[in-house]
Structure 1
């Protein structure tokens, strides 16, 4: 697993699975560890659930230890395995769900932990949220505003090209050290200028 940061120093960000678009569609899945919180981001489509659970088990984390799940948006390739974490609270763009409790709240500015913050970034869908993760290696932003480092320049699902560009600019204005896209490897925006 690729990692950003050190556990105990801000948030530890682990990439459980790097998503892809070819030959099959899989989503990027993150594991975030901070204090007593275990957060999974976008447990979506992969070839088998062990692709998610295996790397977690290798560091002693079973699905019952996951406290929070974040869904960047509601496309199945990012939500397919959410039920693996039945004890967790689930966060999306407008609420927190736990068991049969539904607590409405805007995602904008919501802190799941001291160094994990949600912010609304409509673009790929109208309901997109991105996750700002402060690690000892710098700021990582997980987002579906970019599918991969290479693009596509124009998201074929975006309801508004102008809104997509505005949200991309908002992410870049945070000056992240890394962007972790929904279907590809992390990239540094200062190494290769991401599409805007």
Structure 2
């Protein structure tokens, strides 16, 4: 399985006007499978399209989409991949999305309605034959991280928002945080050759 970082995530916030973070997006390729992890939000649609086009891929080529959690900055662009199976935590179906407000709540509902095929996980299992789902409900109750072996980058830890930026990892490493989330991140960071942060540049350790 080969890993391609289509784009790194970022954070954009203008008080009172705009809150537009977008997640890192990873493409995994193995034989006929073309897997996106966290395809991103509205703000990253163009770079997502450019990344796929540069690899000679169209939305119809994507077979699977994995979500670390169901927030708009990670999951909105899943609406463009009608042939993909969506993989996410089972608890997504029990959330009251109307509580997010009449507009944002309806966006979540429209995303779910666009999914033609859904497979859920609960955490702790291996999916698609090669990707370990790690329970990490520290950012939201449906949050998971992923760990996998790749041909081009060795062992890869995709941590999601449990460790969104490199500075968060360094705070954990230096003992500035000692909570369960920090222990989780440090454990899996130590066995990884590469780490994909959701809102920062990746860290390749080899």
Decide: shared fold, TM above 0.5: yes
2:155 is paired with a residue whose SS is: strand
TM superposition shift of 1:122: 2.0
TM superposition shift of 1:103: 4.7
2:38 maps to 42
2:98 maps to none
Aligned residue pairs: how many? Answer: 172
2:68 maps to 72
1:186 maps to 202
2:182 maps to 165
TM superposition shift of 1:150: 1.1
Q: Does 2:97 match 1:107?
A: no
Relative to 1, partners in 2 of residues 1:36 and 1:183: Cα closer, same or farther, differing over 3 Å?
same
Q: Does 2:14 match 1:18?
A: no
Q: Does 2:49 match 1:53?
A: yes
2:68 is paired with a residue whose SS is: coil
Residue deviations 1:90-113, cap 9 Å, x none?
A: 01122899955555542322222x
Q: Where is the helix percentage greater, Structure 1 or Structure 2?
A: 2
In 1: Cα distance, 2:12 partner to 2:121 partner: 36
The partner residue of 2:59 within 63, 69, 73 is 63
Q: Where does 1:113-124 land on structure 2 (aligned, <5 Å)?
A: 114-124=129-139
TM superposition shift of 1:125: 1.9
Q: Give me the TM-score of the superposition, normalised by structure 1.
A: 0.75
2:87 maps to 91
In 1: Cα distance, 2:115 partner to 2:22 partner: 27
RMSD: 2.8
2:166 is paired with a residue whose SS is: coil
Larger radius of gyration: 2
Using the TM superposition, name which of 63-72 and 128-137 deviates more. Answer: 128-137
1:38 is paired with a residue whose SS is: strand
In 1: Cα distance, 2:6 partner to 2:34 partner: 13
The 8 Å contact of residues 149 and 156 in structure 2, kept in 1 or not, is answered as yes
Regions of 4+ moved over 6 Å: 95-98
The 8 Å contact of residues 123 and 167 in structure 1, kept in 2 or not, is answered as no
Q: Which runs of 5+ in 2 are unaligned?
A: 14-19, 93-111, 173-177
